[in-house]
């Protein structure tokens, strides 16, 4: 028995060593806390509060403007001259300008028929419209299918051109630029652009082109996106909420106040002369659409957002596709800001206040501060105050401001008000990915020019969703497993446990729920659940 009792020394030694390590850690923590951790956390909190106020003021400002526009503002048809184009007995169809419709695509097997069919169905004199399919597909089967589809419409009398390139230089910007170089394109006055999953209504050109014809100062008419698969899963509902706010508020405010907003890359009509004067398409960032819009605006051109003109399209329905899209949408604007801020400041063609709007509101607050403050404040600094009670967060910053911002953001999609809590958790979770992309853009780091085409499912959406439910998921580090999200989730969970055991802030419920959200994102299970309408 004495022999066996000696084995009890191992656990006692282990426990003693563990206690020693814990005690040493607490001593080191106590020595660092007051002189280093507390001052650094207070500085971080001050910066976060400053950014929160910037975002809050911007949201309130836009809300006030949009209310005034809705109550007192003139409709686009009254702000700008608009008259329908009609046939003339003497001039015939020549009263209609020649319009080029560009459809850039890349391996769009599931949606190419939808976009080409919708473009060929546009109501416009057949001798005054050219459909141009810009196919950068690398899959020979897809290329053959797209070419056959173009030939099918051509046999029906549609003036449709199928164009390919030897390379993918410049990606979408390169394809659009090359498309405008063809001899037939030079005969066109305007160009309408639709991504491969966009389906314009037949009267799209009839409603948009007259604004450009009768108002020579206008360079762009942008339509609103509406989503065919918003109810596909919880993730698509969250996307709908964010994008509806972007179109109903941000684009509307920019159009009404400064006649400037970022071109959305599709579902818009450009005056080709404005594109040429601005320097044409450039591929220096992953947001070639925003790049062109800013350069055209600096030349004095005006833009019109037409919220009543809607074009159907598809939201990313897989988390992987959504992450790639958000990386491009967050990294690109930050990188463009870095490249263009000095050019905007030096510009002499636009007013001082328009420069302030573009630099401060459009770029800094919406494209940079919004991402960084959401992650750093709500996912890093706020949880850290649980571990450092000497630093207190004002209630107006932790409760009132985020509550008001959330309500203002939700106005764009009233049918999803009951999903507000999920939207908050989802946006906080995605803020890590967006912040990382924003910093990559600002610093021009490794993935700054990464371009991954967003996967679209088209008519195969429901079938593929059903098939995926039965497929066994493949776990690949970096694809399905996202270590940064898992690490952030672990940090939030630890802070929640500490708050529950020792803290006085009572943030533990939020910390636990947000930690679970990060764990779900970390394991790539976002989009699994379908919400009730």
Active site residues: 136, 289
Taking the C-alpha atoms of residue 201 and residue 313, their distance in angstroms, rounded to an integer, is 11
Smallest CA-to-CA distance from 160 within 133, 195, 182 is with 133
Smallest CA-to-CA distance from 380 within 47, 56, 58, 53 is with 47
Taking the C-alpha atoms of residue 515 and residue 533, their distance in angstroms, rounded to an integer, is 26
Taking the C-alpha atoms of residue 342 and residue 355, their distance in angstroms, rounded to an integer, is 11
3-state secondary structure of 115: helix
Residue found under tokens 């809590």: 421
Burial class of residue 95, CB neighbours in 10 A (0-12, 13-18, 19+)? middle
Please give the distance of CA 308 from its chain centroid, rounded to a whole number. 21
117-137 burial string, b = 16+ CB within 10 Å, else e? Answer: ebbbebebeeebbbbbbbbbb
Q: State residue 308 phi and psi, 5-degree precision.
A: -85, -10
**Whether the Cβ atoms of residue 302 and residue 217 lie closer than 8 Å to each other:** yes
**Whether the Cβ atoms of residue 185 and residue 179 lie closer than 8 Å to each other:** yes
Taking the C-alpha atoms of residue 163 and residue 174, their distance in angstroms, rounded to an integer, is 13
**Whether the Cβ atoms of residue 134 and residue 175 lie closer than 8 Å to each other:** yes
**Whether the Cβ atoms of residue 263 and residue 195 lie closer than 8 Å to each other:** no
**Whether the Cβ atoms of residue 457 and residue 321 lie closer than 8 Å to each other:** no
Taking the C-alpha atoms of residue 337 and residue 380, their distance in angstroms, rounded to an integer, is 26
* Token reading at 147: 């070419």
> What is the chain's alpha carbon radius of gyration, rounded to the nearest angstrom?
27
* Token reading at 194: 């639709």
* Token reading at 92: 């015939």
* Token reading at 478: 């970096």
Smallest CA-to-CA distance from 304 within 399, 372, 217 is with 217
Taking the C-alpha atoms of residue 418 and residue 424, their distance in angstroms, rounded to an integer, is 12
Angle at 268 between CA 266 and CA 269, to 5 degrees: 135
Q: What letter would DSSP give residue 505?
A: S
């Amino acid at each position: 028995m004495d022999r066996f009792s000696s084995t009890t020394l191992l656990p006692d030694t282990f426990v003693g060593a563990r206690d020693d390590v814990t005690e040493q850690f607490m001593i080191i923590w106590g020595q660092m806390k007051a002189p280093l951790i507390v001052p650094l956390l207070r500085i971080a909190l001050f910066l976060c509060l400053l950014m929160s106020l910037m975002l809050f003021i911007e949201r309130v400002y836009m809300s006030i403007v949009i209310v005034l526009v809705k109550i007192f503002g003139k409709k686009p048809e009254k702000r700008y001259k608009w008259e329908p184009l009609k046939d003339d007995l003497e001039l015939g169809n020549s009263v209609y300008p020649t319009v080029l419709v560009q459809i850039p695509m890349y391996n769009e097997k599931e949606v190419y028929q939808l976009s080409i069919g919708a473009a060929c169905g546009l109501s416009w004199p057949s001798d005054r419209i050219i459909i141009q399919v810009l196919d950068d597909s690398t899959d020979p089967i897809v290329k053959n299918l797209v070419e056959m589809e173009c030939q099918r419409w051509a046999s029906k009398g549609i003036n449709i051109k199928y164009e390919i390139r030897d390379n993918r230089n410049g990606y979408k910007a390169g394809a659009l630029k090359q498309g405008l170089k063809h001899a037939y394109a030079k005969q066109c006055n305007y160009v309408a652009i639709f991504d491969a999953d966009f389906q314009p209504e037949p009267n799209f050109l009839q409603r948009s082109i007259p604004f450009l014809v009768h108002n020579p100062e206008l360079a762009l008419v942008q339509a609103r996106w509406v989503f065919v698969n918003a109810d596909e899963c919880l993730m698509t509902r969250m996307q709908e909420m964010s994008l509806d706010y972007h179109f109903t508020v941000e684009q509307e405010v920019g159009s009404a106040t400064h006649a400037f907003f970022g071109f959305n890359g599709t579902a818009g009509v450009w005056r080709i002369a404005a594109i040429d004067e601005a320097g044409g398409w450039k591929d220096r960032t992953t947001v070639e659409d925003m790049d062109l819009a800013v350069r055209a605006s600096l030349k004095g051109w005006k833009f019109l957002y037409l919220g009543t003109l809607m074009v159907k399209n598809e939201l990313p329905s897989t988390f992987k596709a959504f992450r790639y899209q958000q990386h491009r949408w967050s990294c690109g604007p930050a990188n463009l800001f870095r490249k263009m801020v000095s050019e905007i400041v030096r510009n002499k063609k636009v007013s001082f206040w328009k420069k302030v709007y573009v630099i401060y509101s459009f770029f800094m607050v919406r494209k940079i501060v919004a991402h960084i403050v959401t992650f750093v404040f709500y996912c890093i600094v706020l949880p850290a105050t649980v571990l450092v009670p000497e630093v207190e967060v004002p209630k107006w910053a932790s409760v009132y401001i985020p509550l008001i911002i959330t309500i203002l953001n939700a106005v764009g999609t009233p049918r999803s008000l009951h999903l507000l809590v999920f939207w908050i958790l989802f946006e906080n979770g995605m803020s890590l990915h967006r912040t990382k992309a924003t910093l990559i853009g600002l610093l021009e780091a490794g993935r700054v020019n990464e371009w991954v085409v967003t996967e679209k499912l088209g008519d195969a959406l429901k079938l593929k969703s059903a098939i995926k439910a039965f497929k066994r998921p493949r776990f690949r580090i970096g694809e399905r497993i996202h270590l940064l999200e898992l690490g952030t989730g672990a940090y939030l969970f630890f802070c929640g446990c500490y708050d529950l055991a020792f803290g006085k802030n009572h943030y533990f419920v939020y910390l636990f729920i947000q930690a679970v959200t990060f764990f779900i994102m970390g394991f790539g299970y976002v989009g699994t659940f379908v919400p009730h309408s």
